[in-house]
Structure 1
Amino acid sequence: MPTARRLAHEFLDRRGLTTIFGNPGSNELPFLAELPSHFRYVLGLHEGAVVGMADGYAQATGRPVLVNLHAAAGSGNAMGALTNAVYSRSPLVLTAGQQVRSAIGLEAMLANVEATQLMRPLVGWAGEPSCAEDVPRSLAQAVFEAELHRRPTYLSVPYDDWAAELPANAAATLHRNVQRGLTPDAAQLDELAAAVAGAENPALVLGGDIDATGLFDRAVALAEHLGLPTWVAPSPHRLPFPNRHPLFRGVLPAGIAPISAAFTGHDLVLVLGAPVFRYHQHVPGAYLPEGTRLIQVTDDFGAAARAPMGEALVADPAPVIEALLAKVPARTSGGGFAVDPEPKTGAKALHPEQVFAALRETQTDDTRYVVESTSTNSAWWRQMDLRREGSYFFPAAGGLGFGLPAAVGVAMGSPDRPVVGVIGDGSANYGITALWSAAHYRVPVTFVILRNGVYGALRWFGELLGTPDVPGTEIPGLDFTAIAAGYGVPATTVTDLGDLHDQLKSTPDGPRLIQVDTEPTTPE
């Protein structure tokens, strides 16, 4: 009779989950034993980096990915990074080893007490099989739940289950397939098309789900067909629209009042693939201008249910876009892509705009950027020219530690495209162990570390909140070239713009780190 381990490995193989990101402990070793030779185990030195790499990999490939964590302590270490994966809707399947069944109630060392509660409410589903025979079915449910809801799931498995021999019925899981379909009916599409066609001055807001589900080009086609001024929903973790396009109006501010002000004069706001809205700064006001109607289209049931205003259609945005292209008459729009602005210059160090302009001028159009430098946000959007799908990745929940590991994961998941991680010196410390994984697996990724010696975003918030005089906002004395060398990543420091261009023009066959001293800036 087959063991639970063999059936689990075969199920993962059939579903294409043959790349595993992990940091194992003793409880996990029985699952990893006899792993098929064509599986790839990517080791991370801290669970936060493990989840960050898996998050980047899942976003780059658009497929579920298996994450192997250790019991309660290892799972707890992963939770900060997990917040980003939740809001990027990455289908991570988190597995964790549990003590042997007879020791759980005793709370023996490494027992995960009430394991299914540990990761909630972050994960969309959490389970622990009721018996060894239930292991294959539980693993299948974890995978299918992640795929269907596009949200991480968590499965805790007692380690003595893996070697258990199972009856024939347990193998039925191998042949299962679960598909998702959320196509609106004809009446719903006709009603939406009539609303858009009848609006005098409609506007479009796009969210990260548009890019994540491969709809970047179709969303551009829709905006151009209807001549719609187009915003990106606030705090984007992906870029769903070219940021230099003549119809692009920018990233919406993350406050209630400024978003409402941006919609002034628009009688209809159509939101595709985004919550309405993920506010950040507390700037109260009316949700919408008087007379403005908002219609949200999303396949995220939770985002539709919790919205404070507007109407929602829970549906896959893809058929909605195609219906609007077919049913709504075209409107004219003109203009060309915006010209490259002259970057601001720094007095004592390079201005971040100079760094971003150098990236724009030296990197190919298909480059993927993983960005974790919140204080340079306005400089980034002013200088970059991103016109391809999958060009931009940002921590979706704002949790630090995403950038370095996610850049590794994105590069591993898309070997056909260059990857550059643009990371602030404050953020880099949270995921620094990802440098070892990059070096060990010779991942071709460029890390650009912006070193300004401060937590720039915190200083900005201090001014915003009326608390400018607070401790803990300075981080002097960091040398990332020395740290990178210790992890095995070649690194250099540049202070001159010409040297920066020369460094960026070279093409690495493995990881490299470029430390750039920059002047402190604020997000806006």
Structure 2
Amino acid sequence: MTTVKQASYELLRANGITTIFGNPGSNELPFLGAMPEDFRYILGLHEGVVMGMADGFAQATGKAAFVNLHAASGTGNAMGALTNAWYSHTPLVISAGQQVRPSIGMESMLSNVDATTLPRPLVKASSEPACAEDVPRSLSHAIHIATQDPKGPVYISVPYDDWDADAGEVSVNLAGRSVQAAGTPSRQQLEPFIGALASAANPVLVLGPDVDAARANHQAVALADKLKMPVWVAPSAPRCPFPTTHPSFRGVLPASISGISALFKEHDVVLVVGAPVFRYHQFEPGEFLPAETTLLHITGDPGEAARAPMGAALVADVSEALQALTEGVPESDRPLPAARIVAPPPRAGGTVLAPEAVFELINEVAPRDAVYVNEATSTVGALWDRLDMTHPGSYYFPASGGLGFGMPAAVGVQLANPNRRVIGIIGDGSANYGITALWTAAQEKIPVVFVILNNGTYGALQAFATKLKAENVPGLSVPGIDFCALANGYGVQAAKVTELNDLKQKLTTALEAEEPTLIEIMTTTISPF
């Protein structure tokens, strides 16, 4: 007899999913007991951290990651982090232990009441198999749904008495299945896009996270070079789809209606690829698009295409579409855009450093293929201006703006990229949401470098308070936290630096270490606007 548990592990193995991120409870023990030796279990001390690590791991590998949560309470703990995975199109297979079937209706302790509804609307699909024999097929369904464009998290609740049941005949052929999608646009579909770009006097390219996720960065460069277009990254960027050192790179669009529209006034055609149109944040109303400007949109997500307030959209494979556009458009005789000029960093006095100066030093010391996981939200603009990100998969940021992503994601990204060095740039306010990720990094000897920018406040909120004319807002200061002491308590080497030469030495040492390191830096507060 093949048990449901045996069939499920074989299914995960066949799909290359052998790393499990979790924090177990009693409902999960029957699945985890006697776990096959070729599987690896990464323990997080809170489900939000578990989800963040899996999110970073899946984004960095481009493959589905498996998450094991504890019933309803564990799912609830992970929901904040799940918002980031949803908006990042992260392929996650999320399992949650359920009470034994005879006890669910009585709402016994640890029953996941109405389990399929709980994680919605932050999952592509949610299920609880109708019987034990359907668990492997439901798991197979979840894997293939999670990995089909648009990728995203999928949830499955499994009663813990199912694992030892007979898997039955339905499981026999599951491990050998594959599901593929053909999303290459036809020449007829692309012709209006090619014609508009070819005749444009001053086109501009806007790139989103799905370009980096598809590893189509080089294709975006080829298109920009052929048409001599300036290139912006879509607002609130969770990934870096274009080399920041390229002369056409202009930065990240502001996340406001009027701010974006103002930047498009000189452009007659705007091509948006691999991003929503647009993820606005601060409400600054105005015209969505200048009157004489045409917007074209290519996305792998039908939902993004349908809900956009303007433009002609094409739902297609982002990589294939970029390649076809590059081949179809004529070479432009326009001059290349002039490289932008970044202002020198301000000087900060005493033992407090300017974030701009910190980023310039990090850029000097870090390897060229370094990966940055950013959750210092008030310094995002300064970071994009000063870090050279030239390789695909070089940048990750919480896609929904939900804090707690940075430290766990840095662990997951480093786990997925053993041959690249990961630097987590984390604000002091953000760090407290995922601080227990330090323990996992120490236990697993994952050599992440955590750089804590400590300004003693929620800097981004202070800037928003000014913008919103909200005076005397309480709860914006977070003084008195010793991150080095916290790191030492979790088993991570740590140092506090107060001047740039010391930072250079500490960062150089940390990048050569084989275990995690935390560097705490007192910084000035700057506005993200």
Q: TM-score range by the shorter chain?
A: over 0.9
Matched, 1:7 2:3: no
What secondary structure is seen at the aligned counterpart in 2 of 1:281? coil
Q: Which residue identity does 2:18 align to in structure 1? A: T
Q: What's the CA shift for 1:267?
A: 1.2
Cα contact 1:453–1:476 (8 A) shared by 2: yes
1:394 counterpart (392, 397, 401): 397
Paired residue for 1:516, among 512, 517, 521?
Answer: 521
Matched, 1:153 2:158: no
* SS in structure 2 of the partner of residue 160 of structure 1: coil
Q: Distance in 1 between matches of 2:380 and 2:192?
A: 38
TM superposition shift of 1:189: 1.9
Give the equivalent residue in structure 2 for 1:491. Answer: 494
2:202 counterpart of 1:201: yes
The CA deviation at 1:341 is 5.0
Could you tell me how far 1:175 is from its partner in structure 2? 2.0
Task: Tell me the SS of whatever aligns to 2:133.
Answer: helix
SS at match of 2:432: helix
**Structure 2 matches for 1:125-524, cutoff 5 A?**
125-148=125-148, 149-332=150-333, 333-334=335-336, 342-348=344-350, 349-506=352-509, 507-524=512-529
SS at match of 2:59: helix
Aligned with 1:430: secondary structure?
coil
The corresponding residue for 2:53 is 53
Distance 1:412 1:72 in 2: 28
The letter for the 2-side match of 1:361 is: E
Q: Distance in 2 between matches of 1:249 and 1:336?
A: 10
User: C-alpha separation between the residues in 2 aligned to 1:44 and 1:261?
Assistant: 45
1:36 equivalent in alignment to 2:39: no
Equivalent pairs, count: 524
CA shift, 1:273, in A, is 0.3
Q: Contact between 2:445 and 2:515, CA under 8 Å: does it hold in 1?
A: yes
Q: Which amino acid in 2 is paired with 1:83?
A: T
Alignment deviations for residues 225-280 of structure 1 (CA, whole Å, 9 cap, x no partner): 11011111000000111223211122111000111111002111110000000000
Q: Which amino acid aligns with 2:3?
A: T
Deviation at 1:98, TM superposition (A): 0.2
User: Using the alignment, how far apart are the partners of 2:167 and 2:21 within structure 1?
Assistant: 27
Q: Distance in 1 between matches of 2:421 and 2:368?
A: 9
> Equivalents in 2 of 1:459, 1:343: separation in Å?
21
Tell me the SS of whatever aligns to 2:182: coil
TM-score by length of 1: 0.98
CA distance in 1, matches of 2:244, 2:463: 24
1:487-517 CA-partner distances (Å, limit 9, x unpaired): 0000010001110011111211110000001
User: Would you say the 8 A contact 2:25–2:70 is kept in 1?
Assistant: yes
Q: Secondary structure at the match of 2:172?
A: helix
**Cα drift, residue 337 of structure 1:** 5.7
Q: Which is further off, 497-506 or 383-392?
A: 383-392
The CA deviation at 1:380 is: 1.1
Structure 1: tracts of 5 or more residues without a match: none
> CA offsets, 1:365-389, max 9 Å, x none?
1000000001112221222222221
- For 2:222, what is the secondary structure of its paired residue? helix
Confirm or deny: 8 A CA contact 2:211 2:274 kept in the other structure.
Answer: yes
The residue aligned with 1:24 is 24
Shift of 1:167: 2.1
SS of the residue corresponding to residue 42 of structure 2 reads strand
Q: How far 1:336 moved relative to its partner?
A: 7.4
Relative distance call for 1:246 and 1:281 in structure 2 (3 A) is: same
SS in 2 for 1:115: coil
SS at match of 1:321: helix
Distance of aligned partners of 1:32 and 1:15 in 2 relative to their CA distance in 1, 3 Å threshold: same
1:459–1:468 CA contact under 8 A, matched in 2 = no
TM-score with structure 2 setting the length = 0.97
Assess if the C-alpha contact under 8 Å between 1:245 and 1:336 holds in 2: no
Q: For the residues of structure 2 that align with 1:169 and 1:335, how far apart are their CA atoms?
A: 59
How many angstroms does 1:169 deviate by? 3.1
Q: Indicate the SS of the match to 2:446.
A: coil
Structure 2 Cα separation of the partners of residues 344 and 3 of structure 1? 64
RMSD: 1.2
For the Cα contact (< 8 Å) 2:415–2:446, is it kept in 1?
A: yes
Cα contact 1:341–1:382 (8 A) shared by 2: no
Aligned-residue identity in percent:
55
Amino acid at match of 1:443: I
Structure 2 distance, partners of 1:214, 1:237, is 14
Letter paired with 1:54: A
Q: CA–CA distance in 2 between the matches of 1:499 and 1:166?
A: 60
Aligned residues of 1:232 and 1:252 also touching (Cα < 8 A)? yes
Q: Secondary structure at the match of 1:275?
A: coil
Structure 1 contact 44–433 (Cα < 8 Å) conserved: yes
1:317-373 Cα deviation digits (max 9, x unpaired): 222212222121112443676677532221341000111011011011100000000
